[in-house]
Amino acid sequence: MGFGDLKSAAGLQVLNDFLADRSYIEGYVPSQADIAVFEAIAAPPPADLCHALRWYNHIKSYEKQKASLPGVKKALGKYGPADVEDTTGAATDSKDDDDIDLFGSDDEEESEEAKKLREERLAQYESKKSKKPAVIAKSSILLDVKPWDDETDMAKLEECVRSIQVDGLVWGSSKLVPVGYGIKKLQIQCVVEDDKVGTDMLEERITAFEDYVQSMDVAAFNKI
């Protein structure tokens, strides 16, 4: 368990990924867990690690209150992803061991082995992350489609609208709503994938049926 070496780019990347869907290291408020990890970082994360940088700047604002934050500070290796080994401070530990071992060869071998193990675990972590299914952003849209007059064939108008079939668009329920002078508008629901279908495209395609459609408006737009 850990973030790897938080003084390295690889360790900061693990921290950034860990904070992608979290505000804090543990729980929902700043705690000693945040302080422990914060103090292990040598400098602010680079701008491209936006989640880690956002967290770093937020925790930095608690610098004067850090002693009063809840929780008990634990060893750094007690925080972070379960499948990543904490190696922050490994160089310091190795130096201490060198003071005891006059030859130092065993420590060097252990350091290489630890480095190899950390790289393998980071690779496993990246592999697991890449296999997670991507979240598809969708929206629910309610459209108002207005005819030219009370003589417009509304059944045909709706048929034209529903004939628009594109990837990422699913039509839902509909109804006719009176607008005055005997005229009714078509109110129709649809669900779209945000990356594939936009309201501008819908308006362009729907108003292309100019024999039936006078205009189209978005009555409601909600993210799903």
Per-residue pLDDT, 4: 79
What single-letter DSSP state applies at residue 20? Answer: G
* In a shared domain, residues 142 and 219: yes
pLDDT tens figures, 170-221? 999 999 999 999 999 999 999 999 999 999 999 999 999 999 999 999 999 9
pLDDT greater at residue 88 or residue 64: 64
Residues 200 and 48: their CA atoms lie apart, in Å, by 31
Residue 84 belongs to a domain: no
Region 139-149 average pLDDT: 96
Per-residue pLDDT, 3: 83
Residue 117 belongs to a domain: no
Residue 33 belongs to a domain: yes
Q: Decide which of 78, 104, 123 is a domain's last residue.
A: 78
pTM of the predicted structure, to 2 decimals: 0.43
Give the total number of structural domains in the chain.
2
Residue 14 belongs to a domain: yes
Q: Are 207 and 216 in contact (CB under 8 A)?
A: yes
Q: Would the pLDDT of 84 be above 90?
A: no
The secondary structure of 164-191 as a DSSP string is ---TTEEEEEEEEEEEETTEEEEEEEEE
Give just the sign of the alpha carbon dihedral 84, 88, 89, 91: positive
Q: Domain of 172: which CATH number?
A: 3.30.70.60
Q: Decide which of 78, 100, 125 is a domain's last residue.
A: 78
* In a shared domain, residues 144 and 218: yes
Residue 173 belongs to a domain: yes
**29, 31, 45, 170 from 64: Cα distances, Å:** 16, 13, 21, 53
Q: Would the pLDDT of 89 be above 80?
A: no
Residue 70 belongs to a domain: yes
Residue 27 belongs to a domain: yes
Query: What domain range includes position 199?
Result: 138-223
Q: Decide which of 26, 55, 78 is a domain's last residue.
A: 78
Residues 206 and 193: their CA atoms lie apart, in Å, by 18
Residue 68 belongs to a domain: yes
Q: Would the pLDDT of 97 be above 70?
A: no
